[in-house]
Every structure is written in structure tokens, then in C-alpha cells.
Structure 1
Amino acid sequence: MTGEEIQTSNRIGRKLTRDASRRTFLKGTGALATTGTFVTRGVKAHGSYGNRVVGYYPSWAGNYTPSDIPFDKLTHLNYAFLEPQSDGTVVVGDSSEKSLLSDLATYDNTDTVFMLSISSGWYSGTFSDAASTAARRQRFAKTAVDIMEQYNFDGLDLDWEYPDGTVRAEDPHNFTLLLEACRNELDSRFGSWTHLTMAGSPNPNIVDDAYELGTISSYLDHINVMTYDYHGDWSNDTNFNAPFDSPPEDPDGQQSWNTTNHMEYWGSKPISKDKLVMGMPFYGRSYSGVAPTNDGLFNSFSSSTSETYYNIRENIKPQSDYEYHWHPDAKVPWLYSTVENTFISYDNVDSISNKVEYAKANGFGGAMCWELSQDPSNTLISEMHDRLHA
């Protein structure tokens, strides 16, 4: 065989392997047609099902290796992140990232859908550059799908934060055109079963400014709504990282600033609710210099940082000076230490369970976490899966 024939054979072999294993998940949900090699274009081709369990897996996961990932608990694994260049080229990082992707490519005996997530950071401008012309959008789509095929992944996830017109006024429409270019590239190479998703802001102002939902919904399997980071070092006072509902006593009066209200806001838009996946954090927010009033809640603070669920559960909560509290409206826990004057808001099994039950009961498309390595015990992702699949 010539070099070109060998490459063609390898591509076919990878696709057949992908079809035989990971498409099992799609068959089980009715997302694949029963005749033909590929599905016909339509809603079902892009995942009309409500039990997604999406886990982001970052390149910096460290000791949490691919062998630690509970694939049996995940419908989708989102590798984070590939990076776009201003000219539209999507690139893999250094040799260690290439090695990690190669390692993940060997896990082809799972029913999990493997996604490559592409991001360029908060308002970096790089995504805006990459989407600014037709030639760059096509280069983005081609190079991203090249990498997807090279490492035997099943689809793409775009995490542009955010195409709301802040960098370029044309960004909202250019994002639509970028998704269209990716969908067309995927369909032309693999057929319309191939996955395309995005990460979306929970903020209604950004939702309205950034996304042409009536158009992009037809290109997407689902949207991972990032319903977390409601409060942090940018806030006026200590508050919850991802409240289920807003406490009526919130001193800032942010009664609509919560996960359920924002999921309902997304649900009011021209996109099927079962394409909306509710995001949940596997980390919390720690605030220092907090007075003991109200057990640390709604007080001023001197500094704030993030804490993984693992560190909270294993190292912080067991300390005798940290007291556990639960808010009846926010439906999330917090810890407070009068010794260290520290307030910590986070999600645990109980709050994750409640959120998953809400997503399931209200017709949303499942649950997503950021991110898996923050809970190496896999306690939270197991709860997420078991509740959705009960």
C-alpha cells in the first residue's frame, strides 16, 4: 500500500472502531437511525435525550489519570482544552498533552462519547479573531476535526467566553457561522451523527447578546450551561458559588441570580430544553477575613480563592473548628471557622443530588461538571449519574 492508502485505511479503521463502540450510547438513547451507516439530519441526530452526564477532564489533571475516569458514569467526556490561534488554526499543546490525548485514544472500549473542547480564555480576543472571516472559520473547523480524527475522538465542544460583542460587534453572528462551519465539516467527513456542543454562560444578559439561539440550536447536540461562579473574589460579600435558589436575605438583592432561574431562562429560548445541560461545580469558594456574624454568610472578606471538593472534604471539613451549615433556599452547604475567620461555599452529594433531580424533573438534558479531577474519589459524578439513570 502507498502512504496515502495506509492513511486512508487507518482513518476508516478508526471510524469503524468508533462506530462499533461509542455509538452504542447513541443507539441506547434512540439518537441513531436504525437503517443506513449514518443517521438522517434532524433533532434525533443531535441527541434527543435527557440523561447526559458530561464531565470535563483538564489537561492539568495531574495524578488523576485517564485510568481514574469512571467511564461507566459518563455519557460524555470533554477533554479541556485545545486552543485556537488568531488565524483559525486549532492546535494541540506540548508533548505531554499529545501523550495524554494518545492515552485517552486507547480507551475505545467504552460507551462514552469523547469530545475535544476548544477554549482561549476569558475575553482573550483569540476566538474572535479565529471566527472573523470565512477562511479562518473553515481553517478552524478543518484543523479541529483533523485533531479529533487523529486521536479518535467523537466530536467538538466550543467554549468561547463570550461572543457577546465585547471584542467585535460581529462576534454573535460570527459564532453562529463558526458553529455552522464545524457542523458542515463534521457532517461532510463522518455523517451527521458526529457531536457538536458548546459551553454557555448562565448570565441572561450574555445569553441575549451572544447567542443566535434560533439558528445555532440546529447545529448543536446540546449546550453545557455553566451554572456556577455566581460569587467569588469579585463579589461584595460572602455568598454561594452555585445556589439552587436565591436566599431572600441576600443583602445585594440578587433574587434572580441562581442556577434554577437561569436554567429556566435558557429554557424559555428557542431551543429544546432537552438540549440544555445543567452545570455543577466540583469545587467551592473560600473567603478569608470573614467575621462570625451569621456564621460567616453575607459578610465582607479580605480575599477569596477556589478549593476543590477533594480538599474541602478530606482536609478542611474534618477540622474541629469548621462548622457545617446548610441553607434551606440556596440548598447548598457552607463551612465556617471562627478560628481562621474563613467561609467556604461548595457543593456536596446532597446539593448535587437535588440539582440533578431538578434537571431531570424539568425536562432538561442532563448534568455537567467542572471538573472531574477536583473529586478524584468520583463521589459526585457517581451521584450525578445514579440520580439521572435511576
Structure 2
Amino acid sequence: MKILLVLAFMGLSLSFTESVMVCYLESWAVYRPGKGAYDIDDVDPDICTHLIFAFAGINANGKIQVLDPWHELCEEYGECAYNRFTALKKKNSNLITTLAVGGWNEGSTKYSNMAADPEKRKTFVDSSIDLLQKHDFDGLDLDWEYPAQRGGAPEDKVNYAILLGELSEALHANGMILTAAVSAGKDKIDDGYDVPKMAVALDIMNLMTYDLHGDWEPFVHHQSGLYPYSEDTDDNANLNVDFAVNYWLSLGMPSNKIALGVPLYGRCWTLDDTSQTDYYSPASQPGEAGPWTEEPGMWGYNEICYDQTNKPDQWTIETAPGMNEPYAYRGRLWCSYENHTSVIIKANYAKDHNLAGMMVWSIDTDDFRGDCNARPYDLIKSMAETFAGEIVTLPPPASTTTRDPNAPTTTTISTTTTTAQPPPDGVCTGPGNNADPNDCTHYYECAPNTSGGYDATEEECPEGTLYSPSTHLCDWATTVCALGTICLNDCA
């Protein structure tokens, strides 16, 4: 049995020795309205080498926890997202499907406490293996944001490395891989990461070279610039992709284990003065929410390109001197983002630096319907082709006729029986996560039961976050309050 497990792990390892195209999937994208809704059946299983389902969490005892049981599991009339996700391997036998645990909304405190306690670490490792095996995942992606910060402890740097070592040993013994999403910020790297030990434990390191700037700052800038802007000084001079890559390399992370992160979304602001549109122009408020992602300060690439395609006279698209990435503005809305040209430049950079390949957050905000260009997923495909050495040309614009978002879609994988959902019942208005309109510090997980109602489980949001009715997750309090629809008492 041990020989078989070793051979199984070798098969996973050998499958990405050439290059990787790592794609995260936001599970909550299924709840988006209209053309933004994205479910497992929308995934093209042939464009990514690794698909990562985001996210699972952990409880106070360290046990891994399914965050949206109705959507992700099959029990109680659930939608079986985990099983449908890993079943994509039936369409592409080389595809590797893994489960991410953590994420921004989970915070750091629970992970800090778990990593500091040998018994809780064992609970986390053992429960993770059980969940992965039950649903046929090929490994785990640890997305602790961030060790030693956001409620963590200085000891996290040591304990994080210990945790990775124990996870690596257990996963590899079971024929699975271990990856991790890590920060591009110097302070977070210095405080939280023992790089030589991480290099031994990890199969791939997903470098989050995005969110380097955003609406938490009172000025506009690019969130994922490859190089520093000419006017960047002090700490801002380090907030770029090139600095992050070289800093990780200097600390001992092998280049062939780094997947370079590229955002398939834009960071957006509301300009204070529409006559000032250059980098560092004042912008004291987040940009209006995108029509499908519904989160202030952020638009998916699909939302940006679709709006530009349909309102070409309203948008101005520019690239700052010395930079490679576009920014665009319409009225007071100003967004920095990536496009066809900039992602090719980044893929060439990764190739020139002998990196493992590319990573995107996230597959569900690429132009997955092909509304903006003639082929769907143009950004992901362009990066993969560039890294493989293929010549990439800009595809012609798509037809102005687009799919009706309200038209029925074809389901290619069926694992559940369609069942009428029960009527509203107490705190539950429907299956899945439900908001408390009077108190967004918590929410309810609602699952239909056999008696015709719902079973509700109350879940608390981490400190500093509130439940967002648009993303169906806990998010920054400032982001939720900017929606101005619920929880006004929490936002006062």
C-alpha cells in the first residue's frame, strides 16, 4: 500500500514539472446575479493544470469545516459542489483538483491557536485528510491570511512551518499534494514565513501578487503592477510584483515552486475630482460595486470588459508611463486591472525567471462566456499559451449577440435529484447561508430537513468583518457597510 501511495504522489508531482496554470474558484460565485453566476458546470477543465476550490474553514478545535454545506455537500438536498468539482477529472485525466482552507474572511486567530497546539494540529491534519479523501480531492491549499498578523502571534512563524511540515508528510503519505497561498508584502513575509522550511514542505507556492493597492488607501494606484511606478517611494516602492518575486527568491524559495499570481478582477475607487485621473489622484471612497460581484471597490474582469464593450464612449483606458498594466475610468469610477496584453507580459516575466507557472484569482471573473472576445477565458488561455512558448494574438471582438443570462443552462454532471425547497422558516428564507438583517456579526447556515422545514446553525463572523448578503460570506465591515442595505446598526 505504501508503494502505491508513493507512486500516486509521484504521478501528481510529475504532472506539473513542466508548467502550472493554477486557477482558484470562488464557491460563492454561484450566488451572483445574471451573467455573473458561475457554477461548477461552467468550468472548462482543459485550461488549468490545477483547480482549487475556495474555501473551507476550521472550527475552534482545529477541525476542518465545510463553510457552505448546502451548496458544497450532497446531504439534505445539497448541491454536491465538492463532488461535481472533483468529477471534472473525468473530462481531463491530467487535472489536479484541491481544496483551499482559510481565506481572508476566516481571519488568523483560529489558525494561530491551532498551529500552536500539537493536538489541534493533529485534529486539523487528520480531519483534512478525511474530508479530502471522502470527496476525491488531490490535495490541500493552505490559505492562512496571515501568520503573525490579523490576530495572530509572533510564534506563528515557527508554528506555521511546523504545521506545513506535518501537513506535507501526511498528505504525501496519502498520495496528495500541499500548496499554500502566501503574501507578496514584505512585512507579512518577514513576520510570518520561515522560507527554507516552507520550500521543503510545499509542492507549489501560490504567490498573491495582487491587492498591493486598493480602496483602503485614499489615492488610486495599480493593484498588481509588475514594476514600481516612477513616483513610488518608501514602502510603496516595494508594492510590486518584481520586488515580491525577487524577495521570495532571496530568502530561499526555489523559483520552480512559485506560481505567479495574477488578479482577474480590478481594484476600484471613486475619484474625488474627475479632472485628476493619474496614479496618486485623491480618491477617498471605494468604487461603486460591480453589477455581478456586488462588492464596492472591486469589479471582475468580466464586468469591466463587458461594460467597456457595451459603453465604449464612456470609458477612457490608459497605461501609466513606465507601467505595463491598464487602468480605466468612467465618470468618477477608476479601476486598475489586467488585460490581454498585460497578462502576456506577466507570463513572459514568470517564464524568464524560471517560475513554476501562473496562478489566477479567480477563474469565475475571467471573460468566461466570451462576451468581450471571440474566445472564453482569454486571459487564462493567453497566460498558459505564453508560458508554453506559443505565439498569442488578440482574438477578434465577440459578436454583439450574447447569451441570455436567464436562459436555461445545460448541466453536464448530475449528482442530485431536483427537489422543491421548503418555504421560509424562522431565520431561514432559503437553503445555504442566510443573513440576519438586524445583526450582521453572525449568519445562519440553513439546510432543508425531512420534516419540510430547515435546520439552522448559527455562525459568527471573525472580528472586524460582517456578513455580506451579496457574497454570502463574512467580509470587511467597511465593504458590507458601503452596500447600505442591511445591518445599519452595525455600521453606525
TM-score by length of structure 2 reads: 0.67
- Asked if the contact 2:217/2:284 (under 8 Å) is kept, the reply is no
Aligned ranges 1:204-353 → 2 under 5 Å: 204-250=186-232, 254-293=236-275, 295-304=277-286, 305-316=297-308, 318-319=310-311, 320-337=313-330, 340-353=331-344
Query: Residue 146 of structure 2 aligns to a residue in which SS?
Result: coil
Query: Residue 64 of structure 1 aligns to a residue in which SS?
Result: coil
Aligned-partner residue type, residue 327 of structure 1: A
**C-alpha displacement of 1:318:** 4.0
Aligned ranges 1:77-92 → 2 under 5 Å: 77-92=51-66
- Asked if the contact 1:46/1:221 (under 8 Å) is kept, the reply is no
Distance 1:317 1:287 in 2: 21
Partner of 2:82: 101
Larger RCO (CA under 8 A, 6+ residues apart): 1
**C-alpha displacement of 1:226:** 0.3
Partner of 1:66: 40
Q: 1:101 to 1:48 in 2, by over 3 A?
A: closer
- Asked if the contact 1:47/1:221 (under 8 Å) is kept, the reply is no
**C-alpha displacement of 1:199:** 0.5
Q: 1:297 to 1:214 in 2, by over 3 A?
A: closer
Partner of 1:75: 49
Distance 1:120 1:379 in 2: 26
Query: Residue 321 of structure 1 aligns to a residue in which SS?
Result: coil
Distance 2:343 2:131 in 1: 34
- Asked if the contact 1:66/1:104 (under 8 Å) is kept, the reply is yes
Q: 1:67 to 1:366 in 2, by over 3 A?
A: same
Partner of 2:346: 355
**C-alpha displacement of 1:301:** 1.1
Of stretches 150-159 and 372-381 in structure 1, the one that deviates more from structure 2 is 372-381
Distance 2:14 2:202 in 1: 6
Q: 1:53 to 1:328 in 2, by over 3 A?
A: farther
**C-alpha displacement of 1:325:** 0.6
Aligned ranges 1:88-237 → 2 under 5 Å: 88-93=62-67, 94-98=69-73, 99-109=80-90, 110=92, 111-119=94-102, 121=104, 123-164=107-148, 167-190=152-175, 194-237=176-219
Distance 1:177 1:47 in 2: 27
Q: 1:370 to 1:137 in 2, by over 3 A?
A: same
Aligned-partner residue type, residue 61 of structure 1: A
Aligned-partner residue type, residue 54 of structure 1: V
Distance 1:48 1:273 in 2: 14
Distance 2:351 2:140 in 1: 25
Query: Residue 238 of structure 2 aligns to a residue in which SS?
Result: coil
Aligned-partner residue type, residue 335 of structure 1: A
Residue deviations 1:74-119 (CA, integer Å, cap 9, x gap): 1100110010112110011322111111211322322111111000
Aligned-partner residue type, residue 340 of structure 2: V
Q: 1:40 to 1:152 in 2, by over 3 A?
A: closer
**C-alpha displacement of 1:370:** 0.5
Of stretches 283-292 and 56-65 in structure 1, the one that deviates more from structure 2 is 283-292
Q: 1:132 to 1:80 in 2, by over 3 A?
A: same
Distance 1:384 1:342 in 2: 28
Aligned-partner residue type, residue 342 of structure 1: L
CA RMSD of aligned residues (A): 2.5
**C-alpha displacement of 1:213:** 1.4
Query: Residue 357 of structure 1 aligns to a residue in which SS?
Result: helix
Q: 1:177 to 1:250 in 2, by over 3 A?
A: closer
Of stretches 297-306 and 346-355 in structure 1, the one that deviates more from structure 2 is 297-306
- Asked if the contact 2:108/2:144 (under 8 Å) is kept, the reply is no
Distance 1:282 1:307 in 2: 9
Q: Percent identity?
A: 26
Of stretches 373-382 and 291-300 in structure 1, the one that deviates more from structure 2 is 291-300
TM-score by length of structure 1 reads: 0.84
Query: Which stretches in structure 1 are left out of the alignment for 5+ residues?
Result: 1-11, 16-34
**C-alpha displacement of 1:49:** 2.9
- Asked if the contact 1:52/1:277 (under 8 Å) is kept, the reply is yes
Aligned-partner residue type, residue 47 of structure 2: K
Aligned-partner residue type, residue 95 of structure 1: W
Distance 2:117 2:15 in 1: 30
Distance 1:226 1:277 in 2: 9
Partner of 2:22: 54
Aligned-partner residue type, residue 310 of structure 1: N
- Asked if the contact 2:89/2:96 (under 8 Å) is kept, the reply is no
**C-alpha displacement of 1:287:** 1.3
- Asked if the contact 2:180/2:205 (under 8 Å) is kept, the reply is yes
Aligned-partner residue type, residue 173 of structure 1: V
Does residue 1:381 correspond to 2:363, yes or no? no
Partner of 2:427: none
Q: Count matched residues.
A: 352
Residue deviations 1:262-285 (CA, integer Å, cap 9, x gap): 111111121211111110000001
Q: 1:293 to 1:254 in 2, by over 3 A?
A: farther
- Asked if the contact 2:278/2:320 (under 8 Å) is kept, the reply is no
Distance 1:217 1:163 in 2: 16
Distance 1:132 1:208 in 2: 19
Q: 1:251 to 1:200 in 2, by over 3 A?
A: closer
